[in-house]
Amino acid sequence: MPRLSLLGRKVPVPANPSLARLETFPNPKPDRPYEIVFTTPEFTSLCPVTGQPDFATITIRYTPNRRCVESKSLKLYLHSFRNIGSFAEAVTNRILDDLVRALAPRHAVVTGEFAARGGVALKICASHGKSR
């Protein structure tokens, strides 16, 4: 896989998502609709107003078309949000937009379940394409 430059190498976390690279590889079963699910319970970003960390579980569900995302590049990409000030709604939609740009999936849903602040938890679901 000559296009995969991060897998198997020690690579620092990018300073922000704009510098991160979502690497992809060919879908091994492009004629079969199947779902890929990634969950990260340790996602963090920063509140753009207070600068305090926002903690979330991010779940990515997608039905690949021709490309699949390589998991190490996805991990580095998600970790790159930890120093970025952005509202939860913007973060969740940005992740979806970047995945759609990299993969052109048949369908994708990104769910951000943000920990409670002031007693209120927040869950955002952003979707692309038609579900099966």
> Does residue 47 carry a catalytic annotation?
yes
CA dihedral 10, 11, 12, 16 (to 10 degrees): -160
Name the token pair of 38. Answer: 């990634």
Catalytic residue among 54, 68, 97, 98: 54
Q: Point out the catalytic residue in the list 31, 47, 68, 125.
A: 47
Contact present, 10 and 31 (Cβ < 8 Å): no
Active site residue 54: yes
For residues 34 and 14, what is the distance between their CA atoms, to the nearest angstrom?
A: 30
| Residues annotated as part of the active site | 47, 54
